[in-house]
């Protein structure tokens, strides 16, 4: 079974000083929840400062995006090698980037491969829109995103990755998927990850659910068989709420 895993995606929130303040509140709140991998993903500009706050703890830090190229003329972009100095994880293919910034599977796949090559753990996000779900295409869409995102990634490297299922209609809406709905898709994702790698490898890949996870619904979600953790947006900006979510997943350990 994959080790429980919670990641906080701060998105485009917090100034540098607010980020440091939140990190200082999170450090004690998250201490002692040892059976759960805990990752904090602040904006790029606060990565170094937040990382420094967690030195000597086992709280990890991640970025929210990176470019696929190692360096060069890509104004405004950040390369994996730059991130490697300050963090261990990187969120890739988040639906906000797919939808608002036009990112597609090929580009996301290039980023996943670049992240793995440099030694960063990708948190690959997949998930269907409401229209796609209502048309009965949720499974096909998610399978396609997994195949596209993990194309030409070795079984071993898939085993070093994290997958987050975030239905677009549940993100930031306060309307989380029901635990049964989330489990149904997680089972399908586990199967697809196994098909792309190996059944034993897939069993150890943390599968996260994301979309309106909060301190109240986390325990019910954590009971689901293939739901190893959560990718948390809004509720990760409150130290106590995020800690409560991490604790809910600790019961799986």
Report, as residue numbers or ranges, the catalytic residues: 94, 166
Among 148, 206, 211, 229, binds ligand PGA (CB under 6 A): 211
Residue 231's DSSP bridge partners are 7, 210
Q: Say if residues 59 and 89 touch (Cβ distance below 8 Å).
A: no
- Please report how many Cα atoms fall inside a 13 Å half-sphere around the Cα of residue 106, on the Cβ side: 1
Q: Which of residues 73-112 bind ligand PGA (CB under 6 A)?
A: none
Among 14, 65, 109, 212, binds ligand PGA (CB under 6 A): 212
Residue 229's DSSP bridge partners are 5, 208
Q: Say if residues 78 and 118 touch (Cβ distance below 8 Å).
A: no
| Residue 107 vs 165, nearer CB to ligand PGA | 165
- Output the smallest distance, CB 241 to ligand PGA, in A: 10
Q: Is 64 helix (H, G, I), strand (E, B) or coil?
A: coil
Task: Give yes or no for residue 231 binding ligand PGA (CB under 6 A).
Answer: yes
- Output the smallest distance, CB 94 to ligand PGA, in A: 6
- Output the smallest distance, CB 152 to ligand PGA, in A: 26
- Output the smallest distance, CB 28 to ligand PGA, in A: 23
Q: Which of residues 3-42 bind ligand PGA (CB under 6 A)?
A: 9
Among 213, 222, 239, 245, binds ligand PGA (CB under 6 A): 213
Task: Give yes or no for residue 234 binding ligand PGA (CB under 6 A).
Answer: yes
Residue 165's DSSP bridge partners are 126, 209
Structure tokens that stand for 118 in this block: 């440099």
Q: Which of residues 144-183 bind ligand PGA (CB under 6 A)?
A: 166, 171-172
Neighbours of 240 (CB within 10 A): 12
Q: If binding means CB under 6 A, how many residues of this protein chain bind ligand PGA?
A: 13
Neighbours of 62 (CB within 10 A): 24
- Output the smallest distance, CB 246 to ligand PGA, in A: 14
Among 210, 224, 227, 239, binds ligand PGA (CB under 6 A): 210
Residue whose C-alpha is closest to residue 6's, from 253, 242, 252? 242
| Residue 4 vs 233, nearer CB to ligand PGA | 233
Query: Rounded distance, CA 20 to CA 15, Å?
Result: 9
Q: Are strands 162-165 and 121-126 parallel, antiparallel or unpaired?
A: parallel
- By CB under 6 A, name the binding residues for ligand PGA: 9, 166, 171-172, 210-213, 231-235
């Amino acid at each position: 079974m994959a080790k429980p895993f919670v990641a906080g995606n701060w998105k485009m929130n917090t100034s540098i000083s607010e980020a440091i303040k939140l990190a200082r509140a999170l450090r004690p709140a998250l201490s002692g929840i040892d059976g759960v991998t805990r990752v904090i993903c602040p904006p790029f500009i606060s990565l170094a400062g937040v990382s420094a706050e967690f030195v000597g703890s086992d709280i990890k830090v991640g970025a929210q995006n990176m470019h696929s190229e190692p360096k060069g003329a890509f104004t405004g972009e950040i390369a994996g090698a730059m991130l490697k100095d300050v963090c261990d994880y990187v969120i890739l293919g988040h639906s906000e980037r797919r939808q608002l910034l036009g990112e597609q599977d090929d580009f996301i796949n290039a980023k996943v491969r670049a992240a793995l090559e440099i030694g960063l753990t990708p948190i690959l996000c997949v998930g269907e829109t409401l229209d796609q779900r209502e048309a009965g295409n949720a499974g096909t869409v998610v399978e396609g995103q997994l195949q596209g995102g993990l194309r030409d990634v070795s079984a071993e490297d898939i085993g070093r990755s994290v997958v987050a299922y975030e239905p677009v209609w549940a993100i930031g809406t306060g309307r989380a998927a029901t635990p049964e709905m989330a489990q149904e898709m997680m089972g399908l994702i586990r199967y697809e990850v196994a098909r792309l790698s190996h059944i034993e490898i897939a069993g150890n890949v943390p599968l996260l659910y994301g979309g309106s996870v909060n301190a109240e619904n986390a325990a019910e979600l954590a009971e689901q068989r293939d739901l190893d953790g959560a990718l948390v947006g809004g509720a990760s900006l409150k130290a106590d709420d995020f800690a409560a979510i991490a604790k809910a997943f600790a019961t799986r350990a």
